[in-house]
Every structure is written in C-alpha cells, then in structure tokens.
Amino acid sequence: MVYTPHQNGVVERLNMNLLQRESSILINPTLLKEFWAEAVLTADYLINRSPSTSKDYNILEEVWSGNPYDYLNIKIFGCDAYALVPNNQRSKLDLKSKCYVFVRNDYGVRGYRLWDPTTHKIIINKDVIFDKLSIMKLGMVDGESKWAQVPQIQ
C-alpha cells in the first residue's frame, strides 16, 4: 500500500542501516555533507562485502560473483590519496603526484573516486597511494586525542 512504510519492514530496516552507516562515515570533520551520496554508496559497498545472516553468514559479493573477495581493496573514506599526474598533463618540473581526498571505490572501473579540494571536482584514477594515517591525525591536538579534551557528561 502507498504511504504505509510499516508494511515494508525489510526495506525500511535496510534504509535505516544505510543512513546510520552514512552518518558515521561523515563524522570526519574534513568531509562536507555534500558527500552524503558517496557515503551512502560506500555504506552499500561495505554491506555487500560483509557477512549476511540471511545467506548463512556468507559474503554477498562472494555469493554473487562466485569468487572470494580481497579485503585489501577497501580504503578509509576521507583519507588522503596521492594520485599520479599523467605525463601528458605535466611538464618536466611539475610535481608527479597530487593530493586528493579518497571518496570511494568506483563500480565497474579499476580506479578510485577522488575529490580534488582545490577544484572541488571528482576524478577517477587508478595510480593512487593512500595515507591512512591522515584520518587519525585529524583527531590529534598537540599529540593528544581531541576527544580527550571534551568534557565528560555525568
């Protein structure tokens, strides 16, 4: 029936699960709320590569493709990514790589979606080196966790 979401509990739970994961992905202070769609697609990507109770704790991607999934492809949403600038787009004295922000793995392409903070555009590149520690550095102030400075509610 139209306008009766309580009759479609499975889908509503999946939507709630996607939105909860999306909000936890966007907790990073450097990422804007403009990335909500990318965060939802990342949450979907992770759900499809996690064990599912409905499939006897098998991984949905493995059930679908028949091949075991390689978890080394999963990167941290929002981490710094250094992408190689192609030879035809740089001169001899230009830098060989540029710093971007990792947004997500791209479906159907062997590349990564990266956000350029200077031009505010998304690019796709496969020659990327990730700095996973850059996310952890954001939470540090003078060598201490910034969360330790937040007053505790009693």
Highest mean pLDDT among 5-9, 113-117, 132-136, 142-146: 113-117
The H or E element that residue 122 is part of is strand 121-125
User: How far is residue 89 from each of residues 44, 84, 98, 116, measured CA to CA in Å?
Assistant: 34, 10, 12, 16
| CA 90-111-59 angle, 5° bins | 165
Predicted TM-score (pTM) above 0.85: no
CATH number at residue 126: 2.30.30
pLDDT of residue 94: 87
Q: Does residue 145 register a pLDDT over 50?
A: no
Residues 59 and 119 placed together within one structural domain of the fold: no
Give residue 103's domain range: 75-142
**Rounded Cα–Cα distance for residues 146 and 154 (Å):** 19
Domain endpoint, select from 54, 74, 94: 74
- Phi/psi at 78 (5° precision): 95, 0
> Pick from 46, 74, 102: which residue ends a domain?
74
Model confidence pLDDT, tens digit, residues 55-106: 777 887 788 788 887 777 788 888 889 999 888 888 888 889 899 988 888 7
pLDDT at 111 over 80: yes
- Cβ atoms within 10 A of the Cβ of 74, count? 13
Q: How many domains does the chain have?
A: 2
Domain boundary among 25, 55, 74: 74
